[in-house]
Amino acid sequence: MASSTQIDTRYADFIHEVAEWEGVWALYHNGWLLQTTATGEKYCPIFATRDEAKSFAASIQSDHVPSAITLVELTESVMMQWRAEEVMAGICPTPAKPAIVVSLDQLSDDIMAALKDVMDERFGTQS
């Protein structure tokens, strides 16, 4: 039985899905959609699936559209831009739940660890 105190697994689920697919989704329209936390931190909402991104865009009535970002693009380009602009990552916001806001370093470390696990599963552990 679900309760309001049920553990929020969105972050762990997001990391696993992103590592499996090797990419994320964000919302783009003349720039990435940025939002602000109650404490004033800027973040870009990112999602594991196109449908989650599309649903969120519809819920906030935005002209931004879901855009795929490969992990290579994310780590070598997009995150560099976000770091320069002091933007954090906002994981899987929904109309009912706010984004899980994490630092780009934390996100990068968690994705790389999960990606290694996925590669070990697919190809076996390399010695």
**How many Å is the maximal CA-CA distance in the chain?**
50
Task: Report CA 23 to chain centroid distance, whole Å.
Answer: 9
2 in any annotated domain: no
DSSP β-ladder status, 42-47 and 87-91: parallel
What percent of the chain is predicted at pLDDT more than 90? 81
The larger pLDDT score, comparing residue 3 to residue 29, is at 29
Q: pLDDT at position 122, please?
A: 85
79 in any annotated domain: yes
Residue with tokens 């599963």: 121
**Of the candidates 58, 65, 60, 74, the residue with the CA atom closest to the CA atom of residue 14:** 74
Q: pLDDT at position 92, please?
A: 95
| Range name among 10-24, 31-45, 51-65, 111-125 with the lowest pLDDT average | 111-125
Rounded Cα gap, residues 55 and 91, in angstroms: 14
Q: What total of structural domains would you count in the chain?
A: 1
Mean pLDDT score, 79-85: 96
69 in any annotated domain: yes
Q: pLDDT at position 126, please?
A: 62
Q: pLDDT at position 4, please?
A: 45
CATH assignment of the domain containing 21: 3.40.1350.90
Please give the angle made by the CA atoms of 73, 75 and 82, to the nearest 5 degrees: 95
